[in-house]
Structure 1
Amino acid sequence: MKTLLMTGVLLALSGAGAVKVGVLLPLSGAGSVSGQAAKNGYQLALDEINRAGGVLGKPLELEFADDGSAPAKAVPEFVKLVTVEKVDFMAGGVSSATSIAVSGPAKQYGTFMAWIGAAAVPVEDAFADHPYFFHYHPWSYYNFEAILGYFKYLKTYKKAKTIAIAYEDGPFGSAGIDATVDAFRKAGFNVVMTEKFKTGSGNFGPLVSKAKAAKPDILYWVGYDTDALPLATEIKQQNLQLGLLYGTPPSWPVGFEKNSLSDNVAGLSLWLSTSPNKDSRTFVAAYKKKYGTVTDEYFAPLAYVNLKTLAAAINRAGTTDKAKVAAEMAKTNVSTPFGQLTFSPSLKTKYQGFKAGNWLHFQYLGDARVPVFPIKFAQKPMVYGK
């Protein structure tokens, strides 16, 4: 009898295992800079969560998987995390293409998704009816709202009138391109070029030649970090004269700021390490202590916030029951390095975190990313080339 009782106790203890979160990231391929930044943020958050007592009284566990920035690899990795590793929750999700690919199995298994990236509208469509999908990153229409506001400023104060658009051929670049062109035109811009390219190809010669003939004030490109240097190189080689080269990659090439080709290149970011925000300063100090360096890749603090808020919701729920955790996640109202985080409906999904008001526009000035717009956050005047 004692043996049976002891066995029952041991079984009960073994069944009360640690909460496991699967993290699907692009640790290789076109999105690897974002993926590695996010992994660093997750590991920093994990350290802090477990020092504070973990989740449901046990150390939280993370299971990382590399989606390779490729839908064909993302799906089996996702399924393995859910069915073999038997994770309780899924986090990560940088690429729109891979996120669309995993939407099927996510809904099939009823997976709880705390997703940090994947901003293209087709992702929103894919998860519109998923009851356990929490999206932290602003959707692309929120991103574009911020971009359009900046370009309108350039139109008024820098006399920018013409825009050329270069966009990668996946969901990240292509989704909503017609609406983008229409919005620019409605704002009074003349869109003189729209040109698709293959991300990672490095072949921008014909595209830049076409842009040079069109003589735009602004070249607006939508692609990944692997495209930044070859595009900037081709622009210099062909001596394309622009008022502004403006890009929206999720991350930028490592060390890009040290290359003279980055001078005056502008972009969009949810966050920069120079932010005076108290939570940002705390994050930067903790990140530097752990890694010995500072990052300007916003996926690092975004992943950090993602895991911290998920862990807090599980602890408040007192269980891994998805419905109860979702109910607690929905109540999230916390200060973060990006500002206050709450969840409210987007156009199609139930739980959307950050929106348009969180974006900063920066330029590479003096070997650093410097906020230049909105003006109230500008640390230096913007440089406009015309």
Structure 2
Amino acid sequence: MKNVWAAGVFWLCGLTMAADPVLIGLDAEFGHKTSTSAQAIELGIEIAIDEINQAGGVLGGRPLKLITRDNRSVTAIGLDNLRELAQMRDLVAVFGGKFSPIYVESLPLVHELGLPLLSPWGSADGITSHAYRPSYTFRLSIKDEWASGAFIRFARQQHKATRLGVLLPNTAWGRSNKAALEQAAAQEKVSLVAQRWYNWGDDSLLDQYLSLKAAGAQAIVLVANEVEGAVMVRNLAALPPDQRLPVVSHWGVTGGEFVRLTGAALGEVDFAVIQSFSFVGLNTPTARRVLAAVQRKQGVTSAQDVKSPVGVAHAYDLTHLLAMAIRKAGTTDRSRVRDALEQLGPYNGLIQRYAVPFTRERHDAMSASNLFFARYTAADQLIPVVPLSKR
């Protein structure tokens, strides 16, 4: 009888052990006052986790659980958060937010810790293009290298612009774009007439803009998040109409309350922003299912109203890929999960079908073919410039 009792306790303990959650970290800019990106990434992860757990979880029935930390867009805080998360038993990987400098400046630490760092937003080339081997950074997002070529082609096709001015933040993200734009301009045979820099928190970009215009720019390539992007739009709208050049923008502005910050000024400026995903016009079963979950959780009523849609979609697909890697590894050991990410088979995701999501040489799951441009309406709806079927 004693042996039966002991066996029963062991069996019950085994069930308890099997039900212990496998942890996923998210360190993002939740405390940034105008940000919507961290919340969108969190939402995409949560929707995927719900699906994975309802289907039986991972590793014999263990549920996935999300642990969030707020880096407030400050690298030092992000590094402290990564150290804390790395101490958690059964935490397999950490997702980052939209601020590329935090990823880039975290590279030494994440490789020291052997902690997979997953990027569902940050676009700086250096996030995955670096000398650390084996690499612990994986991205399901766009690269500045791809975006730069798209900026130039869009400006030329839409605005007949072959002389471009470039406005950049004085950060790792800005420097990544500078290098990528110079290379793309040489390939596309257009002229970057001048480059001007700004700092986070600058309350006017008018001097930089006027300098670019005086240098002969026919359009402006803007690399900015929502706060400085809104400053630029307000500066332009205050000028006479014939002094306003068209703006082709990086997607940082879509990670926050850009339309609220610009107000009526946005309607006075020709402003297009690069994107990699939209629920608008997408009618696949996965898109319908995920959009329904977004509408329930985010409180929106239409595909046009989804906040920071790329964050939702990228994080959703990346979470499913991580779950596949955990199953393939058969363990929560981070080095084996890292290895498994490089060996995944096909996955039919929300954004696309990933035949081979990652390889040893390629830690970017997307490509330049995912890119398109969108415009904001006065109602804060982000609408693709061309229908999805034509992209």
TM-score scaled by structure 2? 0.84
In terms of mean alpha carbon deviation, does 257-266 or 15-24 score higher? Answer: 257-266
- Report matched runs for 1:229-268 at 5 Å: 229-239=230-240, 241-252=243-254, 253-254=256-257, 256=259, 259-263=263-267, 264-268=270-274
Matches within 5 A, 1:236-315: 236-239=237-240, 241-252=243-254, 253-254=256-257, 256=259, 259-263=263-267, 264-278=270-284, 279-293=286-300, 294-297=305-308, 298-315=310-327
Instruction: Judge conservation of contact 2:372–2:384 (CA < 8 Å) in 1.
Output: yes
Distance 1:228 1:181, change over 3 A: same
Structure 2 distance, partners of 1:114, 1:107, is 13
Amino acid at match of 1:295: V
Contact 2:164/2:220 (8 A) holds in 1 = yes
Tell me whether 1:377 sits opposite 2:381 in the alignment: no
Counterpart position of 1:219: 220
SS of structure 2 residue aligned to 1:32? coil
Alignment of 1:173-212 (within 5 A): 173-212=174-213
Counterpart of 1:354 in 2: which secondary structure? coil
Alpha carbons 1:271, 1:337 under 8 Å: kept:
no
Residue equivalent to 1:75: 79
Deviation at 1:305, TM superposition (A): 1.3
| Aligned twin of 2:351 | 338
Aligned to 1:45: 48
Partner letter of residue 94 of structure 2?
Answer: M
Shift of 1:355: 1.1
- Of 118, 137, 144, the match for 2:122: 118
Structure 1 pair 43/103, CA: closer, same or farther in 2 (3 Å)?
same
Instruction: For residue 248 of structure 1, report the CA deviation from its aligned partner.
Output: 0.4
The CA distance in 1 between the partners of 2:173 and 2:346, in whole Å, is 29
Deviation, 1:260, is 2.9
Q: How does 1:342-381 map to 2 (within 5 A)?
A: 342-345=356-359, 349-365=361-377, 367=379, 368-372=381-385, 377=390
1:351 is displaced (CA, Å) by: 2.4
CA distance in 2, matches of 1:323, 1:123: 19
In structure 1, how many angstroms separate the alpha carbons of the residues matched to 2:113 and 2:223? 33
Q: How far does the alpha carbon of each residue in 1:129-180 deviate from its partner, in whole angstroms, 9 at most, with x for none?
A: 23443221122112223323323423xxx43232111000111112251452
Partner of 2:25: 22
Q: Does the 8 Å CA contact 1:146/1:357 hold for their aligned counterparts?
A: no
Cα distance in 2, alignment partners of residues 271 and 172 from structure 1: 21
What SS does the aligned partner of 1:361 have? strand
**Stretches of 4+ moved more than 6 A in 1?**
3-7
Structure 2 residue ranges without an equivalent (≥5): none
Percent identity, aligned pairs only, is: 20
**Change beyond 3 A, Cα 1:361–1:49:** same
Q: Write the letter of the residue equivalent to 2:272.
A: A
AA of the residue aligned to 1:37: A
Does the CA-based 8 Å contact 2:97-2:120 persist in structure 1?
yes
Aligned to 1:384: none
Q: What is the distance in 2 between the residues matched to 1:85 and 1:313?
A: 18
* Partner secondary structure for residue 233 of structure 1: helix
Q: Is the 8 A contact 1:309 1:332 kept in 2?
A: no
Kindly state the Cα deviation for residue 32 of structure 1 after the two structures are TM-superposed. 3.0
Write the distance in 1 (CA, Å) between the matches of 2:12 and 2:259: 55
Offset, 1:326: 4.2
Query: Does residue 90 in structure 1 map to residue 94 in structure 2?
Result: yes
* CA distance 1:93–1:163, change in 2 (3 Å): same
Q: Is the 8 A contact 1:193 1:211 kept in 2?
A: yes
For 2:134 and 2:363, the matched residues in 1 are separated by 10
TM-score (norm 1): 0.85
2:172 is matched with 171
- State whether residues 277 and 337 of structure 1, in contact with CA within 8 Å, keep that contact through their aligned partners in structure 2: no
Task: For residue 270 of structure 1, report the CA deviation from its aligned partner.
Answer: 0.8
Amino acid at match of 1:287: V
Q: In structure 2, what is the Cα distance between the partners aligned to 1:190 and 1:145? A: 13
Q: Does the CA contact (< 8 Å) of 2:196 and 2:208 recur in 1?
A: yes
- Residues 323 and 59 of structure 1: is their aligned pair in 2 closer, same or farther, counting only changes over 3 Å? same
From 30, 36, 40, give the equivalent of 2:39.
36
* Contact 2:227-2:253 within 8 A present in 1 as well: no
Check whether the contact 2:149–2:184 (CA below 8 A) recurs between aligned residues.
Answer: no
CA contact (8 A) 1:362 1:370 kept: yes
* TM-aligned CA deviation for residue 105 of structure 1: 2.2
1:149 equivalent in structure 2:
153
Q: Is the 8 A contact 1:267 1:362 kept in 2?
A: yes
RMSD of aligned Cα (Å): 3.0
Between the aligned partners of 2:113 and 2:78, the Cα distance in structure 1 is 16
Q: 1 CA distance for matches of 2:253 and 2:350?
A: 17
What one-letter code is carried by the residue in structure 1 that aligns with 2:306? Answer: T
Residue 13 (structure 1) shift:
5.3
